[in-house]
Amino acid sequence: MQELQYFKPKCLSDALELLNKHGKDIRILAGGTDLIIALKDKLIISPNILDIKAIEELQSISFSTEEGLSIGAAVSLNDIINSNEVIENYPILVEGAKNLANSLLRNRATLVGNLCNASPGGDMLSPSIVLEGIAEIASIDGTRKVPLKEFFIGVKKTILKENEIVTKVIYPFIKGKGKYLRKSRIKGHDLAQVAVAAFLKSDGGLNITVGAAGPTPVIVKVINNIDILKNEEEIIEKVKSAISPISDQRASKEYRTAMVEYLTKQILKELGEVV
């Protein structure tokens, strides 16, 4: 393990000052499930670590039909899984979280950490995008909000600047039903070979996002008031034409394409039956 300086501020303003001071020479630790391994294996070199777990304003989950759902950067995945507000109103987030690693790791791992890690196979990316989630980003210069569909710009790359931190993710309250399915090589702690999330709004609009089929999540919007069962083949072809999978150690390009088709079909069938 490399030698490093460890900071654990108790307020956001102190954390932002540290980020601004150290810039590229500091890394944020929320859950640390990815960061600690990367530091140990020297995949990441950083002389400073900023632990945000003790910052109270980053620890909450709140919900209202007017403001939607807000999940702070220090909220663990198990907190999300056990939240009645999330279970009742955003169950697709629970589906995504339950697919990530195991219960012990989910006690540490966070939604925001999974998003900021920006792995194409991250389980919280696709569900968060189809729910039209928004990242609230802070720095000493102020706060800005960015839709998650614009947040990812490459493999493990986001629009975040060196002195910025995602403080929370906000999901608008949208009536409808969502579903998340993924395929991996083994059960448990393994990234998805391919993942598909979809959300069918009560007005008939359909959002679909595919993970691990390109350098960033692939987003497909389907026009409003469409009968997804009658237009299943058209929707699947639209999804397949949008993806750009590659062959790697996890799966071949052909396998990923076939699994996107299969998972999308399964999801459309389930969503179509509840309309």
The three-point CA angle 191-266-95 to 5° equals: 45
Res 175: pLDDT: 95
> Across residues 236-242, what is the average pLDDT?
94
12 to 20, 73, 142: CA distances (angstroms): 12, 11, 12
The reply to whether the predicted model has a pTM over 0.85 is: yes
Backbone φ and ψ of 106, nearest 5° = -70, -15
3-state secondary structure of 183: strand
Token pair for residue 209?
A: 């996002």
Closest to 55 in 3D by CA, of 103, 107, 7: 7
Q: CA 100, CA 200: separation in Å to the nearest integer?
A: 23
Query: How much is the mean pLDDT over the chain?
Result: 93
Q: Could you count the other beta carbons within 10 Å of the beta carbon of residue 237?
A: 12
What CA–CA distance (Å, rounded) separates 135 from 67? 14
Enter the DSSP assignment of 204: S
pLDDT computed for residue 187 by the predictor = 60
Residue 139 and residue 36 in contact, taking contact as beta carbons nearer than 8 Å: no
pLDDT band at 45 (very low <50, low <70, confident <90, very high): confident
- In angstroms, rounded to a whole number, what is the distance separating the alpha carbons of residues 14 and 33? 23
Q: How many CA within 13 A on the CB side of residue 187?
A: 2
| Contact by Cβ (8 Å): 204, 273 | no
In this prediction, residue 38 has a pLDDT band, given cuts at 50, 70 and 90, of confident
DSSP3 helix / strand / coil % (the chain, rounded to 5) = 35, 25, 40
Specify the pLDDT at position 222.
73
Set out the domains of the chain in order of their start, with CATH numbers.
5-51 (3.30.43.10), 56-171 (3.30.465.10), 176-272 (3.30.390.50)
The residue among 184, 205, 52, 173 whose CA lies nearest residue 122 is: 184
